[in-house]
Amino acid sequence: MEVKPNETKLISPFLVFFLMPGMQIGVGVLGFERIIAKEAGQDAWLSIILSGLTINLLVWMCYKMLGKGTKTLDLVAIHHDLFGKWAGNAFNMLFILYFIAITIIIVRTYLEVIQVWMFPGVNILMLVSIILILVYSFVVGGFRVITGLCVIGLIITSPLILLNYFPLKHAHFGNLGPILDHSFLEILKACRKMTLNYLGFELLLIYYPFIKKREHSQKWAHLGVVFTMAVYVISFIVSIAYYHQNQLRDVIWATLTLWKIADLPFIERFEYIGVSLWLFMVLPNICLGIWAASRTAKRAFGVRQRKLLVMILIVILVACLFLDNRNKIDLFNTISSRIGFYVIYVYLPFLFIWQAIVYKVRGHKS
């Protein structure tokens, strides 16, 4: 099942740089510090770097799998090639559900931020409907439109990094010491907690055929992951320097709380501006996840992508209404994070090794 998208639907290799953080940097960056600080304290920044390096290794594996043979492959083609049509489609179905689950997490967590920080009495049905209508308009526009949204989102939200200047004026960098005060096992546990924040790079397995000169895009993919890693490291170091690790463990939305410190003469509550602008970072997350799910279903089962898109949006809408309190949201996030951990750290290496074995056996037979 070789994939040959029309030339007009392809993107330039360097745009992969924007697609990586376009899926990895989202609502999680607003409060990930507390989760990893519980495991590794002030040493958690090492976990962020270690996770980023392992993700780069997995990106390399993805490119190796996609570059096998002379045909242009994607995840569906790899599954059919290695496991046959029926077993391959079973794996494809699991990935469709996985992409939908990630998208539900992003949508519902962002809605919770709006509820907690801006409009406690907001109608969730109305708000999620507006967001999903926006998403539908972008996804039906095609992959190039979604890529453009990733570029715009990163450009618009990047200046928010400059807000770190305000908490740094009150920072105590002694909070970063002593370095390596935690065991390697504790640092690894924090790496596992970072999994949810790094998920999304595996969408490369779906949009790879839409890249021009695909072999030239690998360096940009690695640079994109490094950029994501840098954003998380900077956010954590600023947070641990402003708070103490004991305080940080009790702050649910550390980055958002730091935005409140911003002292500008023309804006009193800058976190309102920050949450609103962050929609430009969250929208690419949602669009990429839904596009990947509908694209995988189209490739696996031959159904029109637009029909599948409507069905997926309805599922996300119902799921967001069902997750109506903090406990349910936390439980769903925890389960999805664990599934994501096994997908990227167990299944992808298994698929890489199994493909190498199968191709070697076929080579001997031929």
Q: What is the pLDDT of residues 56-65, one digit of tens each?
A: 999 999 999 9
Instruction: Provide the pLDDT confidence category of residue 364 given band limits of 50, 70 and 90.
Output: low
Residue type, 184: F
- Per DSSP, helices labelled H in 302-347 are 305-322, 326-342
Examine the pLDDT at 123 and tell me if it is beyond 90: no
Instruction: Provide the pLDDT confidence category of residue 69 given band limits of 50, 70 and 90.
Output: low
Residue 82: other Cβ atoms inside 10 A: 17
For residue 70, give both structure tokens: 């002379």
Closest CA to 356 of 128, 143, 67, 120: 67
CA atoms within 13 A on the CB side of 112: 23
Task: Answer yes or no: are the C-beta atoms of 280 and 152 closer than 8 Å.
Answer: yes
Instruction: Give 298's DSSP letter.
Output: H
**Measured between alpha carbons, how far is 241 from 248 in angstroms, rounded to an integer?**
10
Candidate ranges 95-104, 178-187, 254-263; pick with highest mean pLDDT = 95-104
Examine the pLDDT at 52 and tell me if it is beyond 90: yes
Torsion of CA 222, 227, 232, 236, to 10 degrees: 120
- What is the structure's pLDDT at 47? 92
| Span 197-212, average pLDDT | 91
**Measured between alpha carbons, how far is 113 from 40 in angstroms, rounded to an integer?**
25
Instruction: Provide the pLDDT confidence category of residue 135 given band limits of 50, 70 and 90.
Output: very high
Geometric angle at alpha carbon 242, from 240 and 244, rounded to 5°: 55
For residue 314, give both structure tokens: 């309805």
Instruction: Provide the pLDDT confidence category of residue 143 given band limits of 50, 70 and 90.
Output: very high
Closest CA to 337 of 51, 43, 13, 59: 51
Instruction: Provide the pLDDT confidence category of residue 365 given band limits of 50, 70 and 90.
Output: low
Q: DSSP for 36-83?
A: HHHHHGGGHHHHHHHHHHHHHHHHHHHHHHHTSSSS---HHHHHHHHH
The residue ranking higher by pLDDT, 61 or 268, is 61
Reduce the secondary structure of 219-287 to three states and give it as a string: HHHHHHHHHHHHHHHHHHHHHHHHCCHHHHCCCCCHHHHHHCCCCECCECCHHHHHHHHCHHHHHHHHH
Q: Give the least confident one: 129-143, 157-171, 299-313.
A: 157-171
